Amino acid sequence: MTSPTAVDSVLAVGGLRKTFGGTVALRGVDLQVGAGGVHALLGGNGSGKSTLIKCIAGVYTADAGEVRIGQHTIEAAHMTPHAARAAGLRFVHQDLGMFDDFSVAENIALGTRFPALGRVQVRWSGLHRQVRRLLDDYGIEARPQDMLGSLRGSQRTMVAIARALADQEDNEMILLLDEPTAALPEKESQELMHALRLRADRGQTIVLVDHRLGEVEQIADVATVLRDGQVSAEIDHDLRATKLAALVAEAELAEVRRPTTSPDRNAPPVLRATGLVAGGVRGVDVTVGPGEIVGLAGLAGAGRSTILRALFGQHPVQDGRIELDGRPYRPSSPRDAVACGVAYVPEERLTEGLFADLSVRENIAVTTLAGYWRWLRMDRRAEQRDAKEVVARQTVRTASVDTPIGQLSGGNQQKVMLGRWMRRNPRLMLLDEPTQGVDVRARSEIYASIRSLSASGSGVVVASTDFDELLALCDRILVLADGVVAHDLDAATTARDELVAAVMRTPSDLSPTEHP
Amino acid sequence: MTTQAPEASRTETTPAATASATRRSGSLAAIERLALPALLVLVVLFFTVYPASREIYATSANVSVVLGNQSVVLLVAVAILFPLVAGHFDFSAGATAIFASVVAAAGMARFDLPVVVACLLALIAGVLIGTVNGLVVSRFRMNAFVSTLGMATLLGGLIQWYTGGLAIVGISQSMTDFGSASWLGLPRVVYVVAVVLIASWYVLTHTPYGRSLYALGSNERAAVLVGIPRPRYTLIAFVTASVLASIAGIIVVARTGGANADNGMSLLFPALTAAFLGTTGFQPGRFNVLGTVVGVLFVAASVSGLTLSGAHDWVDQVFNGLALLIAVGLSSYLRRRREGATS
């Protein structure tokens, strides 16, 4: 570890400890961040990196330790959001805290301050001039009066960063980013990483919490790996994604490529959809054989999610023929689809998946409630037993099955979301971004359980913006563009570059929307 | 080997650490679960020994009066529990109870209908009101907060129109006999209420339907995506609420020998207070029947004690208002904590 006397560190954390109830989250963390450059903070679920950031931000009150920012040393126990800001720390969280239906200028002014004419009246011309300068400085291609919602995801994040740093004079602030690319498609996270690297080259100090190791490899100068609330490694040269992954998982990663257990192509398919028309999807053929995992790739708006929703009875199907196990299948509601043996894990875990205030047990039991009604009562013991089984099989890290699921980390929540359907042994499993915001360790565990489901003969459809995920998990990948299948690729023989090119070359993000 | 050493020690220490944490938070959780009933016991003890109220407070006569009066509030409180669990307010339950009482009383006093027919009509009125409430929320996706407030106002107006603001009296003798009779020292209506309470508890906790309502209340979109039929279940919740409120109305007729022209708000607010107070006990953070019962008793025991101690009329309202504010605040705090939104 670097010596604590390193003079050029602008942010130093020493002996930071934090416990929640009886659980130790941070057991004495030391961290040195040098001036100018990108310092990546890595670690698995529950490794403590979020807790660390929140302690530095003063959102959580640490038990012991100190934080030094420049020349100021603050007891970590006395850190407050206000003190952190006053000391020159700027945070951009995953939830950017911005409003899509406000203009860029308004969003920036809300975070900083509206320049006022007199006491109340907003001086719009001054604000727009100020914001235009800021946008130029950060290379954001937008006008102050553009609605924030009309910007691409990466540009929105850049606006949030510009807003956070709006009042610095000469890169003296320290920018801390918490998983800025978690919700961005590959192309845009590339853009964002590029922009961050530019800022760092101009002398900005950036601390980056990230799950995507490829990005870290690309732009970080230094990486600190946390494990079980302690710093387990620090690397300042030769940052390789594979090496980082090994440090994070600290176990050999599950083989990146799927073991080629080629499914029986001659067996009658589980799902055969022909000429599927629904919303923006204009005539798509999808066939999924038993034991086959089919990926859906494509840019935003290409129709990935719509196809899954249509197959689950959650989006009206306008035309086309769908067969499930050879029988006509046209679900009118999710309930219908569930009854036919179809399962769906939506992309939006928080708003469409979790019952956050209900226990892990209840979140699991909810897919088979009627099955627990025995002798005119709910069989709690059976629920308990099944929930424990799911927790064990999916390696969910939770204090007990009675813990409210909202208190679990994202990866563990996602394992429950999968596990509650796996239990029903669905014929067809539909997954939308199954590992979004999930760390490496949980990710390989989720892959393993998806594979075990397909090995039992079920069909699986995975929609994802993560190319590595599609290549690692799928047998075939359908590349969608403008609501039709542009390519049908065999994952085993497709190189990553080919897949990227197939998705990117499709002109969907440029083509104007046609009028019916 | 070096990578395995921490792995092994972790698997040994973590369960132990978790277990002790669970034990500690277990006793804390037990205190939290039982705080509300403990508070009830304290209030009862206080007024039993407090000089100004002790002579009457703990007598069986007072207990009987309080329980008899509260049985109606209790029914309304349990009635609104069904939509509340599913994530919707029902502000019309109080007005529905009064409306049902007017239907029953008028049926007997003005149309000379048999008791059973009059009561049946009151229940049918409840089913209709609940169906309208339910359809408006489940099919037309209106906000229940507004739509049930509208229903309450509408019913209040109809009651005013029909009664002209006067009480309806002259109901059949057998009805008032039932209302004033006691059984084992308690008013007979208390037993009716007890049966409804147990049935409601059973439905909410021991049937797939009840559990689905909790899922709907927790996250409606997620509930639909696991196959819960949202429109139908929501409709049933509102119909249940209105039918239970109608039973409350029939009990009002039996106990008071008629129906008063009232808008029902004096029933609704204590019921709301009790339902929200109930979320602080037994199953913190969620609406439950047992907690609601203790909530009603807590408010009743406090108000009765205050009244017997010679407090003014307004104290009742101030107490109810404060209790509602505190209950709603605690309730949403507990829920947020369960969701992991607070540190």
- Which chain B residues are within 8 Å of A339, Cβ to Cβ? 227
Mean pLDDT for all residues in chain B: 87
Specify the range with the lowest mean pLDDT, choosing from A183-187, A421-425, B198-202: A183-187
Instruction: Answer whether residue B296 is part of any domain.
Output: yes
B137 lies in which domain range?
A: 33-338
B217 to chain A: nearest residue by CA? Answer: A355
Q: Which residue has the tokens 């006395």?
A: A78
Q: What pLDDT sits at residue B52?
A: 84
Top-confidence residue, A241 or A190: A190
* Shared domain check, A188 and A142: no
Does A356 contact B214 at a Cβ distance shorter than 8 Å? no
Question: Rounded distance, CA B89 to CA B86, Å?
Answer: 9
What is the rounded average pLDDT of the residues B11-25? 41
Q: What pLDDT sits at residue A119?
A: 64
Instruction: Answer whether residue A115 is part of any domain.
Output: yes
Here the tokens at position A429 are: 């499993």
- Which chain A residues are within 8 Å of B286, Cβ to Cβ? 357
Q: Which residue has the tokens 């929703």?
A: A309
Specify the range with the lowest mean pLDDT, choosing from A120-134, A242-256, B316-330: A242-256
* Shared domain check, A198 and A139: no
Q: What pLDDT sits at residue B161?
A: 94
CATH number at residue A500: 3.40.50.300
Specify the range with the lowest mean pLDDT, choosing from A63-72, A379-388, B208-217: A63-72
β-pair type (A205-209, A37-43): parallel
Flag whether pLDDT at B128 surpasses 70: yes
* Shared domain check, A196 and A142: no
β-pair type (A89-92, A174-178): parallel
Flag whether pLDDT at A240 surpasses 50: yes
Residue of B78, B92, B112, B95 lying closest to B249 (CA atoms): B95
* Shared domain check, A198 and A79: yes
Instruction: Answer whether residue B18 is part of any domain.
Output: no
- Which chain A residues are within 8 Å of B229, Cβ to Cβ? 333, 335
Instruction: Answer whether residue A404 is part of any domain.
Output: no
Here the tokens at position A63 are: 């038990």
Last residue of a domain, one of A252, A287, A316: A252
Cβ of A5: how many Cβ atoms within 10 Å? 8
Give the length of chain A: 516
Pick from A54, A228, A357: CB nearest B285: A357
Does B229 contact A335 at a Cβ distance shorter than 8 Å? yes
Sign of the torsion angle spanned by Cα atoms A101, B221, A440, B15: positive
Mutate to test the interface with A, among B25, B207, B212, B218 (most CBs of A within 10 A): B218
Pick from B24, B207, B215: CB nearest A22: B24
CA of B108 vs chain A CAs: smallest distance (Å): 38
Q: What pLDDT sits at residue A56?
A: 92
Q: What are phi and psi of B330, to 5 degrees?
A: -60, -40
Mutate to test the interface with B, among A63, A315, A349, A355 (most CBs of B within 10 A): A355
How many folded domains does chain B comprise? 1
Instruction: Answer whether residue A377 is part of any domain.
Output: no
Q: Is residue A295 a contact partner of residue A477, using CB atoms and an 8 Å limit?
A: yes
Instruction: Reduce the DSSP state of residue A466 to 3 states and report it.
Output: coil
pLDDT, tens digit, for every residue of A176-186? 998 888 777 77
Instruction: Answer whether residue A398 is part of any domain.
Output: no
Cα torsion through A81, A83, A88, A94, rounded to 10: -10
Instruction: Answer whether residue B330 is part of any domain.
Output: yes
Does A22 contact B340 at a Cβ distance shorter than 8 Å? no
B342 to chain A: nearest residue by CA? Answer: A407
Question: Rounded distance, CA A429 to CA A345, Å?
Answer: 8
* Shared domain check, A162 and A196: no
Q: Which ranges of chain B does DSSP label H, i.e. alpha helix?
A: 4-33, 35-49, 54-57, 60-85, 93-109, 115-138, 144-163, 173-180, 188-206, 208-218, 220-225, 230-256, 265-278, 289-308, 313-338
Most confident of A152-156, A463-467, B61-65, B229-233: B229-233
Instruction: Answer whether residue B225 is part of any domain.
Output: yes
Flag whether pLDDT at A14 surpasses 60: yes
- Which chain A residues are within 8 Å of B219, Cβ to Cβ? 351-352, 354-356
* Shared domain check, A430 and A497: yes
Here the tokens at position B303 are: 């108000």
User: pLDDT band at residue A314, thresholds of 50, 70 and 90?
Assistant: very high
Q: Is residue A229 a contact partner of residue A27, using CB atoms and an 8 Å limit?
A: yes
* Shared domain check, A287 and A236: no
Residue of A214, A219, A221 lying closest to A244 (CA atoms): A214
CA of B125 vs chain A CAs: smallest distance (Å): 30
Instruction: Answer whether residue B10 is part of any domain.
Output: no
Chain A interface includes B198 (CB < 8 A):
no
Flag whether pLDDT at B150 surpasses 90: yes
* Shared domain check, A110 and A242: no
Question: Rounded distance, CA B70 to CA B176, Å?
Answer: 17
What is the rounded average pLDDT of the residues B50-55? 85
* Shared domain check, A216 and A79: yes
Does A399 contact B225 at a Cβ distance shorter than 8 Å? no
Instruction: Answer whether residue A216 is part of any domain.
Output: yes
* Shared domain check, A34 and A163: no
- Across the A:B interface, residue pairs with CB atoms under 8 Å apart total 116
A478 lies in which domain range?
A: 271-341+426-509
Residue of B291, B301, B337, B302 lying closest to B84 (CA atoms): B291
* Shared domain check, A472 and A433: yes
Mean pLDDT for all residues in chain A: 84
**Cα Rg of chain B, angstroms:** 23
Q: What pLDDT sits at residue B31?
A: 78
Top-confidence residue, A112 or A336: A336
Instruction: Answer whether residue B71 is part of any domain.
Output: yes
Instruction: Answer whether residue A417 is part of any domain.
Output: no
* Shared domain check, A149 and A211: no
Does B227 contact A367 at a Cβ distance shorter than 8 Å? yes
Top-confidence residue, B183 or A248: B183
Question: Rounded distance, CA A248 to CA A439, Å?
Answer: 9
Last residue of a domain, one of A147, A167, A187: A167
CATH number at residue B324: 1.10.3470
Instruction: Answer whether residue B19 is part of any domain.
Output: no
Chain A interface includes B87 (CB < 8 A):
no
- Which chain A residues are within 8 Å of B340, Cβ to Cβ? 356, 404, 406-408
Q: What pLDDT sits at residue B330?
A: 87
Ranges of beta strands (E only) in A136-280 are 174-178, 205-209, 222-227, 230-235, 271-278
Instruction: Answer whether residue A365 is part of any domain.
Output: no
Last residue of a domain, one of A144, A167, A190: A167
Cβ of A278: how many Cβ atoms within 10 Å? 21
Instruction: Answer whether residue B6 is part of any domain.
Output: no
Q: What pLDDT sits at residue B234?
A: 97
How many folded domains does chain A comprise? 3
What is the rounded average pLDDT of the residues A456-464? 94
Q: Is residue B188 a contact partner of residue B255, using CB atoms and an 8 Å limit?
A: no
Mutate to test the interface with B, among A250, A357, A430 (most CBs of B within 10 A): A357
- Which chain A residues are within 8 Å of B6, Cβ to Cβ? 227-228
Flag whether pLDDT at B77 surpasses 50: yes
